[in-house]
Structures are given as C-alpha cells and as structure tokens.
Amino acid sequence: MSEPLVLITDQDAVRTLTLNRPQALNSFTAAMHLELRLALEAAAADSSVRCVVLTGAGRAFCAGQDLSEPGMGADGQPSDVEGVVERHYKPLALRIRSMPVPVVARVNGVAAGAGANIALGCDIVIAARSASFIQAFSKIGLVPDGGGTWLLPRLVGRARAIGLAMLGDKLPAEEAERIGMIWRCVDDASLSEATAAVAGRLALLSSPALAATRKIIDDAMPMDYDDALGQEARVQGAMSRGADFAEGVAAFLGKRPAQFLDR
Ligand code: T3D
C-alpha cells in the first residue's frame, strides 16, 4: 500500500497533520489536497481535537502546486489552473480559516507559492530559523493565490506585499518574524517543542472563543470602528452564554485552572 499523503498523529488534544510528499518538497497534487481536506474535516468533527498543527515531512513545509501534475503547462495538455485554484486552494484556505479550533503552522523548511500562503493563513505561524517563505508565483508568470493577496498586505503592509510578490525573493524566517509576517522564528532544534507548547496552551483554552476571535478580527478589517465595536458586543454576548465563560469566571474566582469543554 502507498504511504498516506497526509500523516495524522494525535498528542493529547492536539492533532498534527503532516504533508507527506517529501521527495517533491510536499508540493500539492490533487490527491494530497483530497487527503488534507478529509483530514481537516475529520479534525473539525472530532470534539476531542482542540488544536490542529500543520507541518511538512522532510526538509520542506510545502513548495506550493506540484508543477509536474497534468495540466500545469509542461505536458502540452490544456491548462486548468483556474479550476485547480477554485476546486482546491480556495476551499483549503477557507477551511483553515473556518476551523472550530486554532490552526498552528509548524514551518519546518521552505514554504513556497501556495505553500507559503497556506501557512500564513493559519492562526499562528512558528517557523524554524532555517525555513523561508517565497512568493514564487511571479517566477512562473502567475499571481499570488492561496489567500496571499488578502493576507500579505494585512500582515506586512502594501509595500512589502508588492515587493515580496513581484520579486519572489526568499524571505528567511527570522526576517519574516521581524516584519510581523509570522508569530515566531525559533532554532531548528526547538521547533517541535516550541510548537507543541503553543498548541498545548491553545488546546486548554475555550475553542469557541478562539474561533470567534479569529473570525471577528478578520471580519473587522473592512469595518469602521463603530461597526467593529457593535460586532464585539454581539459576539461577546454569544460567548457569555456558553458554559466556558461561566467556567472561566468560576476558575478565576476559585483560584484554580479552568477546564474548558465547549467545542
Ligand atoms: O494550478 C496552479 O498552478 C495554480 C496554483 C498555483 C499555486 C502555486 O503554488 S504556484 C507556485 C508553485 N511553486 C513554485 O513555483 C515553487 C517551485 N519550487 C522551487 O522554486 C524550489 O523547489 C524551492 C525554492 C521551493 C526549493 O528549492 P531547492 O533548491 O531547495 O529544491 P529543488 O532542488 O528545487 O527541489 C527538490 C525536488 O523537489 C526537485 O525534484 P528532484 O529534481 O529532486 O526530482 C524539485 O523538482 C521538486 N519540487 C520542488 N518544488 C516543486 C517540485 N516538484 C513539483 N512541483 C513543485 N512545486
């Protein structure tokens, strides 16, 4: 039997999904997209999972679209790039952004093209010092996808977004942290431990509150101040009716750790 294209492992309430095509730097094929989609759906449906970590096998995180797949231009077949983006990258980016639990990218090596933007679409990005981010699209005559056009200017501002996307230069993880594109860059030897520590902390918090935090921060982007404040009031009201809020307050007053169970 062939190896799974996405490895699935559980450590307590943290589920790790590992892209597993190391010989092609974990670049996306249609088959790997399908396995990743099913793995994300399964994690979303499993109430014992309270945080998802996305990472890559071998020396890369993900080199974006597998350019040797049929229809990518090299085989003389009619290209279906628009269909590939609609069928695979758009649903993947949306699924990550709508997960009921936080998603952490553990960027173990190079993240290029859509591989970079799928990492940046995760809630928290922790990268090894040897890792890098490449908006590789311009080098093959494409534009950023996988959410890059929305994410990049918000993360690093328009000037850097345009520079990174047009020049397609390799951005070392340390620089990515310095300009605010990712949460942390850590020594290679500490990557697993640092990611597990963050994922473990997130898994102990209220999943609905964390998922709602992601959503209202994203939704507030085009809003004016008044509307954002109104949204906060509405969502805060919804959160306060959940059992996690009562538990959080009781734990604080009882000077004990909270046991959040909502999902
Ligand atoms: O449908 C659509 O196309 C729309 C969707 C587009 C989304 C996108 O992601 S477009 C962007 C696609 N990705 C790229 O353009 C990146 C291509 N890869 C690279 O530029 C380099 O591989 C890296 C900078 C990422 C790493 O360089 P390096 O020197 O460390 O490794 P390498 O030698 O280039 O690659 C190692 C192997 O992986 C090599 O195979 P080999 O020779 O050992 O058999 C290489 O061909 C393979 N590989 C790397 N990236 C891809 C790939 N194979 C297929 N597709 C790839 N994207």
> For strand 110-112 and strand 170-172, is the pairing parallel, antiparallel, or unpaired?
unpaired
62 beta partners: 111
Q: Are 137 and 89 in contact (CB under 8 A)?
A: no
Answer yes or no: is the C-beta of 199 below 6 A from any ligand 1 atom: no
CA-to-CA dists, residue 231 to 11, 20, 212, 218, 263, angstroms:
35, 40, 11, 12, 21
What is the rounded distance in angstroms from the CA atom of residue 150 to the CA atom of residue 144? 10
DSSP state of 189: G
Measure 120 CA to ligand 1 centroid, in angstroms. Answer: 18
State phi, psi for 124 to the nearest 5 degrees.
-135, 130
Measure 60 CA to ligand 1 centroid, in angstroms. Answer: 10
List the chain domain ranges. Answer: 6-203, 207-253
Answer yes or no: is pLDDT of 74 > 90.
Answer: no
Answer yes or no: is pLDDT of 134 > 80.
Answer: yes
> For strand 14-19 and strand 6-11, is the pairing parallel, antiparallel, or unpaired?
antiparallel
Architecture of domain 6-203 in this structure: Alpha-Beta Complex (3.90)
Answer yes or no: is the C-beta of 92 below 6 A from any ligand 1 atom: no
What's the pLDDT band for 179 if we cut at 50, 70, 90? very high
Measure 22 CA to ligand 1 centroid, in angstroms. Answer: 11
What is the rounded distance in angstroms from the CA atom of residue 61 to the CA atom of residue 176? 15
The arithmetic mean of pLDDT across residues 60-68, rounded, is: 97
Answer yes or no: is the C-beta of 246 below 6 A from any ligand 1 atom: no
Q: Across all residues in the chain, what is the average pLDDT?
A: 96
Q: Are 207 and 101 in contact (CB under 8 A)?
A: yes
Measure 25 CA to ligand 1 centroid, in angstroms. Answer: 7
Atom of ligand 1 nearest to the CA of 89: 5
Residue ID of nearest Cα to ligand 1 atom 57: 66
pLDDT at 46: 98
* Of 5, 25, 145, best ligand 1 pocket probe by most atoms within 8 Å of the beta carbon: 25
pLDDT at 72: 79
Measure 113 CA to ligand 1 centroid, in angstroms. Answer: 9
- Closest Cα partner for 130 from 178, 194, 191? 191
Measure 64 CA to ligand 1 centroid, in angstroms. Answer: 7
Atom of ligand 1 nearest to the CA of 66: 55
What's the pLDDT band for 89 if we cut at 50, 70, 90? very high
Prediction pTM value: 0.96
What's the pLDDT band for 70 if we cut at 50, 70, 90? confident
Residue ID of nearest Cα to ligand 1 atom 47: 24
- pLDDT tens by residue, 203-218: 999 999 999 999 999 9
Measure 111 CA to ligand 1 centroid, in angstroms. Answer: 10
- pLDDT tens by residue, 231-250: 999 999 999 999 999 999 99
- pLDDT tens by residue, 90-126: 999 999 999 999 999 999 999 999 999 999 999 999 9
Count how many residues are written for the chain: 263
pLDDT at 159: 98
State the Rg of the chain over Cα.
19
14 beta partners: 11, 51
